[in-house]
Amino acid sequence: MKQIKGPAIFLAQFAGDAAPFNSWDSICGWAASLGYEGVQIPTWDGRLFDLHKASESQDYADEVKGIAARHGLAITELSTHLQGQLVAVHPAYDAAFDGFAAPEVRGNPAARTAWAVDQVKRAIMASRRLGLTAHATFSGALAWPYIYPWPQRPAGLVEAAFDELARRWRPILDHAEEHGVDLAYEIHPGEDLHDGVSYEMFLQRVGNHTRANLLYDPSHFVLQQLDYLDYIDIYHQRIKAFHVKDAEFNPTGRQGVYGGFQGWADRAGRFRSLGDGQVDFGAIFSKLTQYGYGSWAVLEWECAIKHPEQGAREGAGFIRSHIIEVTEKAFDDFAGSGADDIANRKMLGLA
């Protein structure tokens, strides 16, 4: 067994124009002051990170890594959630997602897709320069508008969507293999890879690619009413990254999983700060440790009620209290009598 590393924090929800959230050095100092030991970088945020430069310059990658190290921090993973989303966008979402892209490719879906693919590939190269072995991303979605089959879906529609999704991602996965980096897809509503079955549909189409792996975030499974502990039993060999995020699901006679078009605070299912929701993190950390997950536990703060800075302050201690120090001996070693092959054969009546 391995010991989970942490606590770490995903910086996407905290980056901003005011200090200490507006530069790489100052946000690292802030994270370290709260007791975090690692940071996950949103590669789209130029206030913190230059992805193009990191993909091409070892000196720049070393500088970024060195600034974090001066604050006692490690870089856990790079994230391309926004760029990965743009690898595959259904036309119904063109306007909504265009803002994720560089200005020069907005309004041009083909150019936007090519830009997104290049971004993810650059993040893979930057990960290698930073000495990272896993990279967090989204799959994007072509079939998502048809998730609830009314009117009836035409035969072959979903299959065609997943064929195309695999066609777009296969060269990126091969690029990841060349650079020794796992892609960790966050399984998430709004993505075509939103549960275990959809992930398996994709995995089959990319030939069970060794780099097509998973970012585990139990909060999304609470909102889908999926068994998030059984999920670890099924997919533990593919879990390469871990977002520690809480959630709750409180259905009423008026709304359930779909939320009635309400804002986050008024939905039956909503994200919460760590410890304020329903996720059994004790069981999750136990299962991940049992299966030998030895990478980072990364806070992703999202809550409809609590202030982000309070969530960040509380999160480091919460994660640290759940990390299991792996034992080096069996609990019943005190009762061991010692044995050898001859003694064992005597006990079995074989001597």
Per-residue pLDDT tens for 211-268? 999 999 999 999 999 999 999 999 999 999 999 999 999 999 999 999 999 999 999 9
Predicted confidence at residue 230, as pLDDT, reads 98
260-274 pLDDT, tens digit each: 999 999 999 999 999
Q: Shortest CA distance to 130 belongs to which of 73, 210, 47, 212?
A: 73
Predicted confidence at residue 334, as pLDDT, reads 62
Domain count, the chain: 1
What Å distances lie between residue 107 and 93, 144, 164, 165, 249, CA to CA?
12, 21, 21, 21, 37
Output the tens digit of pLDDT for each of the chain's 351 residues.
899 999 999 999 999 999 999 999 999 999 999 999 999 999 999 999 999 999 999 999 999 999 999 999 999 999 999 999 999 999 999 999 999 999 999 999 999 999 999 999 999 999 999 999 999 999 999 999 999 999 999 999 999 999 999 999 999 999 999 999 999 999 999 999 999 999 999 999 999 999 999 999 999 999 999 999 999 999 999 999 999 999 999 999 999 999 999 999 999 999 999 999 999 999 999 999 999 999 999 999 999 999 999 999 999 999 999 999 998 777 676 667 777 888 888 889 997
Question: Domain limits at 39?
Answer: 5-347
Predicted confidence at residue 331, as pLDDT, reads 66
Predicted confidence at residue 340, as pLDDT, reads 84
Which CATH number does the domain housing residue 295 bear?
A: 3.20.20.150
